[in-house]
Amino acid sequence: MFWTGWVISTLPALFLLMDGVMKLVKPPMVVKATVDLGYPEGVVVGLGLVLLACTLLYMIPKTGVLGAILLTGYLGGAVASHVRMGGSTFSICFPIVIGGLIWLGIYLREEGVRRLTPLVN
């Protein structure tokens, strides 16, 4: 269960790390996507730094649960932004799926989380 949890945790973490780095590099497509969601161009780097920090916290075993909580908030903001702008079903559901993988991964890799939220008796 432990190693399965790490494999599942790595999938969304790699995507989020790439997304965070892209926000720091600021290619035109990333800036356009952010502006299209109604945010000013000046927040792109800040969003990237927050995303990278939260993802790194998630991948460190001692701070993994904190990282999962923070990433849930970040992804909730992504869902809200896409809903507000009338995004596609995919753009609304994708952050929800990433959040689900984050919590499945932390559930499988952290015994303390399993003790708090038993899915199977």
Query: If pLDDT is split at 50, 70 and 90, which confidence band does 121 have?
Result: low
Measuring CA to CA, which residue among 90, 88, 94, 113 is closest to residue 103? 113
Q: Is residue 24 part of a domain?
A: yes
Q: Is residue 45 part of a domain?
A: yes
Q: How far, in Å, CA of 45 to CA of 31, rounded?
A: 10
Domain around 7: 2-116
Q: What's the pLDDT tens digit per position in 15-65?
A: 999 999 999 999 999 999 999 999 999 999 999 999 999 999 999 999 999
Question: What does each C-alpha distance from 25 to 18, 36, 43, 44 come to in angstroms?
Answer: 10, 18, 13, 9
Q: Is residue 121 part of a domain?
A: no
Q: Is residue 54 part of a domain?
A: yes
Measuring CA to CA, which residue among 23, 25, 46, 24 is closest to residue 33? 23
The total number of structural domains in the chain stands at 1
Query: pTM of the prediction?
Result: 0.92
Q: Is residue 8 part of a domain?
A: yes
Q: Is residue 58 part of a domain?
A: yes
Question: What does each C-alpha distance from 48 to 10, 43, 53, 74 come to in angstroms?
Answer: 18, 9, 9, 11
